[in-house]
Amino acid sequence: MSITVNLRYKGENGAATAFAKEMISSGTVEAIRNEAGNLRYEYYTSFDDPETVLLIDSWENQEAIDIHHASPMMATIAALREKYDLHMSVERFVSDEEISEKDKAFIRK
């Protein structure tokens, strides 16, 4: 069972994109990807709203998320959120890791 958290960062005048770029260029994203239990940490931009950036953040389990949240890295992330004056919305999903046979019919590999 993995846990995926979708975080939408919203700012003004390109702030969310600048935040994501700084997270990447500073090495913070790579460090998070190397944390035990991290499965995915990727930013995406919205075609509908250029002021919003989506982070897809997946972990093996809640323990891995808790360790990540307790790490000093969170202070870095929080400081960058403040720097760019970002606001967030969050969705959380728990995966059952299994795709049904009916759903597989719609997936092109």
How does pLDDT run along the chain (109 residues), one tens digit per residue? 899 999 999 999 999 999 999 999 999 999 999 999 999 999 999 999 999 999 999 999 999 999 999 999 999 999 999 999 999 999 999 987 677 788 888 888 8
Helices and strands per DSSP (H, E), number in the chain: 5, 4
d(CA 36, CA 32): 9
Which CATH number is associated with domain 3-96? 3.30.70.100
CB 29 within 8 A of CB 73: no
Exposure of 19 in the CB half-sphere (CA atoms within 13 A): 31
pTM of the model: 0.88
Predicted confidence at residue 5, as pLDDT, reads: 97
Alpha carbon distance, N-terminus to C-terminus of the chain: 23
Question: Looking up tokens 């870095």, which residue turns up?
Answer: 76
Predicted confidence at residue 26, as pLDDT, reads: 96
